[in-house]
Amino acid sequence: MRQKIIADVDTGIDDSLALLYLLASPDAEIAGIAATAGNVPAAQVAANNLAWLDVCRAPDIEVALGAAEPIAIPLRTTEDTHGPHGVGYAELPRSVRRLSRRTAAHLWVDLARAHPGEIVGLCTGPLTNLALALRIEPELPVLLHRLVIMGGAFNHPGNTTPTTEWNVHVDPEAAKEVFDAFAAAPPQRRPIVCALDVTETIEMRAEHLVRLATRANSYPVELVTETDPPEARSAASNPIVRYVTDAVRFYFDFHRSYGQGYLAHMHDPFAAAVALDPTLARTRAATVDVELAGTLTRATTVADWAGMWGREPNADIVIGTDPDVFFDRLISRVGDFARTVHPPAAQKLR
C-alpha cells in the first residue's frame, strides 16, 4: 500500500528536493500538490511544481494554486534565499501541464473527504492554504491520517528574525489557526513538527551531490565549490541531477554568505522523509502556540513542554534524528529514480 500524500509546498529549493523525494519513493502516492505563496509568489511555485513533474516524467498529478497572500498580512518572498524563480541557478523548462481548476484549499478538503483517514498532509511552506481549508472543513484534523509540518523554532534561534522561522513568519495567523485546530486531534493524529532545531542539523554538502550523481550514473560527476562563479551551470548528463546541482549550488552560496559554511539545510526533504517514515524522527509532545501580538517576537512558535498552560498537547515536535540515515535514503531514492527516469543510454552528451 502506497501512502497517499498531499504536498503543500512553496517551491523553493529544498521544497524541490522534497517533491523529488516523494516522486522517487515507491511507498508514496502524491494525491495532489498545493502551491503556496512563500519563498516565491504562488504562481511561480505552481510553475515550478509543474516543471519538476515534467523533468521527472511524472504522471498527471494535480497541482492546485493557493492564495496569493497570507491570511492577514501582505506576502513577503525571499528570492535572495531561493533564486529569482525559486529554484536557485536552475532554469527549468516551462511546462505545458495545466493547473487544477480547484483552489489549493479545496484540494485539501476534497481529497481528505474522499479518503478519510488515509492521507498524510505534508506542509513545507506557510500554512495559509491549510488554514483556509480548515475554515471550510474543521474536521480535517480527524479526516487526515497525519500531518507533518516543516516550520517553527523552539529551543533554537530563528532564521528570519532572532526568534522566528520563515514559514511561520510569512503567515503567523495561519500557523496559529492550524495549531489551534489540531488541539482537537487525538494523540495519533497530532502534527509532527520538523522545526529548525532539527532541520538545521540536516546539512547537505557538495559531497552529497557527488554521491547523487554517481548513484544516478550521471556524468561527469561534478564537485561544486565555493569558487564556482554564479553563471556556472552543471553539465551533468542526467537532467534531474543537472537541475538539482544548479538549484542546490545557489542554496550553498546563500548559506555561505550568512557564515554558515558551504552547505545547505535540507529542511523540507527531511519533513518529506518523516511524512513517509515517522520512525526517522524522535519526537516529544508539547502544546504549541504562535505569538501574534509581540512587537519583537511576533510569529514566534512557543512550545509548552510541561503542561504549564493546562492545555492538551497539539503537536509532536521532532527533537532528534540521524542525518546520515536521511541522506543515505535521499541519495539512494532520488539517485535510483533519476537513473530510471533518464537511463544513461538516453541522456544527452554535453
Choices 59-67, 165-173, 213-221, 330-338 (CB under 6 A): range interacting with ligand BDR: 165-173
Among 124, 128, 234, 300, binds ligand BDR (CB under 6 A): 124
For 9, other C-beta atoms within 10 Å of its C-beta total: 31
**CA 111, chain centre distance (Å):** 20
If binding is defined by CB under 6 A, does position 77 make contact with ligand BDR? Answer: no
255 vs 195: CA distance, rounded Å: 18
| Residue 69 CB burial class (10 angstroms; 0-12, 13-18, ≥19) | middle
If binding is defined by CB under 5 A, does position 124 make contact with Ca ion? Answer: yes
Nearer Cβ to Ca ion (15/253): 15
129 vs 174: CA distance, rounded Å: 8
Taking CB within 5 to 8 Å according to partner kind, which of Ca ion, ligand BDR, none is near residue 171?
none
If binding is defined by CB under 6 A, does position 62 make contact with ligand BDR? Answer: no
Interface with ligand BDR: number of residues (CB under 6 A): 13
If binding is defined by CB under 6 A, does position 150 make contact with ligand BDR? Answer: yes
Measure Cα distances from 22 to 12, 94, 274 in Å. Answer: 15, 21, 11
Pick from 109, 82, 101: nearest CA to 13: 82
Assigned C-alpha cell, 60:
498527471
Interface with Ca ion: number of residues (CB under 5 A): 6
Among 5, 7, 8, 12, binds Ca ion (CB under 5 A): 12
Nearer Cβ to Ca ion (14/289): 14
Phi, psi of 88 (to 5 degrees): 65, -135
Nearer Cβ to ligand BDR (12/141): 12
With the CA atoms of 240, 242, 245 and 250 taken in that order, what torsion angle do they form, in degrees rounded to the nearest 10? -110
Among 15, 197, 222, 253, binds ligand BDR (CB under 6 A): 15
If binding is defined by CB under 6 A, does position 268 make contact with ligand BDR? Answer: yes
Minimum CB separation of residue 78 from ligand BDR in Å reads 6
239 vs 86: CA distance, rounded Å: 18
184 vs 284: CA distance, rounded Å: 18
Phi, psi of 6 (to 5 degrees): -100, 120
If binding is defined by CB under 6 A, does position 49 make contact with ligand BDR? Answer: no
Amino acid identity, position 256 = R
Among 41, 125, 126, 335, binds Ca ion (CB under 5 A): 125
239 vs 83: CA distance, rounded Å: 19
Among 21, 52, 166, 179, binds ligand BDR (CB under 6 A): 166
Minimum CB separation of residue 343 from ligand BDR in Å reads 31
Pick from 304, 283, 272, 294: nearest CA to 21: 272
Taking CB within 5 to 8 Å according to partner kind, which of Ca ion, ligand BDR, none is near residue 47?
none
Minimum CB separation of residue 266 from Ca ion in Å reads 11
Minimum CB separation of residue 66 from ligand BDR in Å reads 14
For the segment 288-347, give every residue that binds ligand BDR (CB under 6 A). Answer: none
Taking CB within 5 to 8 Å according to partner kind, which of Ca ion, ligand BDR, none is near residue 222?
none
Taking CB within 5 to 8 Å according to partner kind, which of Ca ion, ligand BDR, none is near residue 126?
none
If binding is defined by CB under 6 A, does position 267 make contact with ligand BDR? Answer: yes
If binding is defined by CB under 5 A, does position 8 make contact with Ca ion? Answer: no
Choices 7-15, 95-103, 276-284, 336-344 (CB under 6 A): range interacting with ligand BDR: 7-15
Give exposure, 12-41, as e/b (b: 16+ Cβ within 10 Å). bbbbbbbbbbbbbbeebebbbbbbbbbbbb
Pick from 214, 206, 211, 141: nearest CA to 179: 141
Interface positions with ligand BDR (CB under 6 A): 12, 14-15, 39, 81, 124, 150, 159, 165-167, 267-268
